[in-house]
Amino acid sequence: MGFRSEAKFYQGAGVTIDIAMTSFEGLILGIETSCDDTACAVVDTAGKVLSSVVSSQLDEHRPYGGVVPEIASREHLRNWPAVLAEALRRADLDLETVDAVAATRAPGLIGSLLVGLSLGKALARGLEKPFYGVHHLEGHLYSPFLKPTGQVADVAPERFVALVVSGGHTALYRVANGDITTLAETRDDAMGEVFDKVGKRLGLLYPQGPRVDEIAEGWAESGQRFSIARCRDGSLDFSFSGLKTQTLRALDRVLARVSDSAVSGPSELPADELVRTDGVRAVLAGFREAAVGQILNRLDRLFRQETFETLAVSGGAAANRLLRRSLPDWAAERAVDLRLVALTFSGDNAAMIAHAAGKRLLAGDRGDFSTVEAASRLPLGSP
């Protein structure tokens, strides 16, 4: 840790931090194991990512069509030593040099969370450094301000609106001076989850979201039309289950037609053949348009209620190509400063966890060694 002044300082658990200074060079080791990715990263308190390593368990979960919780915990236990060693190697650091440790505490699969949280606490205890238990969504929320490895993060404005679209969440938040208020969330499925379920019906392998996006991208003609869900009570909440049902029904109709004309039934047709049929591609294109249309609809309505200057968009489904193409136009028309998460940090990663902890550390938070527990569900902003 480097100090350049003796101005106001704060003494926490084994660490002395000058809050007033911008030249503080504390290093945070981040650990993220909330679902099926084992991730470690080293980020400094200025938000510069020194290394970010994500080890995917896709091959282990693929045969089951989705994430199997027991397999995920076991794989985290197996993978973390190599992931941690690689994160330190890429950052060119010894473990002893880190100044604080952070791990995701919630929400997620409880067994998976426990692996990372216990590891983080044990490392911090052994190193006699502070420990931070971070809410996964807080990590996503600030991730659009991270820059590619080696560059200092942009400073997040005091007030901004955050859209998080992932496999577990679809929500809008207002962030004001560090306080986070939920403006809207999904009443049923999350956006990424629906992409996965639609792809699963076609026999695609997990995670189906990126593949469905790719197939829709390849369809140049107009897609099948689906309506955009609205909540009757006028709330801004999202809802994707109606779109999912409409899409699955439309796919079933196409699949029935395909099976009439094929020698074998649709279930026997390999997925890569099915997704080449025009009917399937038109349905997937229309589905994607309606899913992204719903996101834009909620943003529109929110903007009419309260204008905002900055929109930060994050989460695994923020990799969606149509969404990434549509948002810059939407924002430009309203003079909104759009912060679209870099593709490296859209999916789950530990850099975002370390960065969120770094913000707390700089704000004088001493960490939460003994108080923090893992939780499969936890509203953002809970103690």
Q: Which residue ranges make up the site for Zn ion (CB under 5 A)?
A: 166, 348
* 349 contacts: CB under 8 Å, gap ≥ 6: 32, 37, 39, 41, 52, 54, 143
Q: How far is the CB of 267 from ligand KG4 (least distance, A)?
A: 22
Of 185 and 348, nearer to ligand KG4 (C-beta) is 348
Q: Which residues bind ligand KG4 (CB under 6 A)?
A: 35, 166-168, 192-193, 195-196, 207, 209-210, 213, 315-317, 319-320, 347-348
Shortest distance (Å) from residue 146 CB to Zn ion: 14
Please say which residue, 192 or 367, places its beta carbon nearer to ligand KG4: 192
For residue 196, the minimal CB distance to ligand KG4 (Å) is 5
Structure tokens at 141: 């929320």
DSSP three-state, residue 342: coil
Residue 140: CB minimum distance to Zn ion, A: 6
> Residue 68 Cβ, how far from ligand KG4 at the closest point, in Å?
15
Q: What span, in angstroms and rounded, lies between the C-alpha atoms of 213 and 219?
A: 10
In the complex, least distance from residue 35 CB atom to Zn ion, rounded to whole angstroms:
7
Rank residues 138 and 348 by Cβ distance to Zn ion and give the closer one.
348
Specify the residue, 47 or 315, whose C-beta has the smaller distance to Zn ion. 315
Q: Residue 266 binds which one of ligand KG4, Zn ion, none, with CB within 5 to 8 A depending on kind?
A: none
Q: Which does 44 bind (CB under 5 to 8 A by kind): Zn ion, ligand KG4, none?
A: none
368 binds, among Zn ion, ligand KG4, none (CB under 5 to 8 A by kind): none
Distance CA 233, CA 252 (A): 32
- Is-cis flag, bond preceding 107, omega within 30? yes
* Distance in angstroms (rounded) separating the CA atoms of residues 113 and 131: 15
Shortest CB 347 distance to Zn ion, Å: 7
Binder of residue 210, out of Zn ion, ligand KG4, none (CB less than 5 to 8 A by kind): ligand KG4
Determine the 3-state secondary structure of 378 from DSSP: coil
* Phi, then psi, of 134 in degrees rounded to 5: -110, 140
Look at residue 139 and give the partner it binds from ligand KG4, Zn ion, none, a contact being a CB closer than 5 to 8 Å depending on partner kind.
none
Count of CA atoms in the C-beta half-sphere (13 A) of 367: 27
144: partner contacted, choices ligand KG4, Zn ion, none (Cβ within 5-8 A by kind): none
Number of C-beta neighbours around residue 106 at 10 A: 23
Between 50 and 165, CB nearer to ligand KG4: 165
Exposed / middle / buried, residue 161 (Cβ in 10 Å: 0-12, 13-18, 19+): buried
Nearer to Zn ion, 213 or 289 (CB): 213
Of ligand KG4, Zn ion, none, which one does residue 107 interact with (CB within 5 to 8 Å by kind)?
Answer: none
Between residues 166 and 294, which has the closer beta carbon with respect to Zn ion?
166
Q: Please report, as a single letter, which amino acid is at residue 110.
A: I
Residue 195 contacts which entry, ligand KG4, Zn ion, none (Cβ below 5-8 A, type-dependent): ligand KG4
Q: How far apart are the first and last CA of the chain?
A: 28
b (16+ CB within 10 A) / e for 333-371? eeebebbbbeebbbbbbbbbbbbbbbbbbbeeebbbbee
CB 195 within 8 A of CB 208: yes
Residue 136 Cβ vs Zn ion, minimum distance, rounded to whole Å: 6
C-beta separation of 162 from 138 below 8 A: no
> Which residue minimizes CB distance to ligand KG4?
316
Residues contacting residue 273 through CB under 8 Å, at least 6 positions apart: none
CB of 104 to ligand KG4, least distance (A): 10
Which residue(s) pair with 49 in the sheet? 43
What, of Zn ion, ligand KG4, none, does residue 209 touch, CB below 5 to 8 Å by kind? ligand KG4
Q: Report, in angstroms and rounded to the nearest whole number, the Rg of the chain calculated over CA atoms.
A: 22
Residue closer to Zn ion by CB (options 289, 348) is 348
Closer residue to ligand KG4, CB minimum distance, 9 or 219 = 219
The token pair at 381 is 């902003």
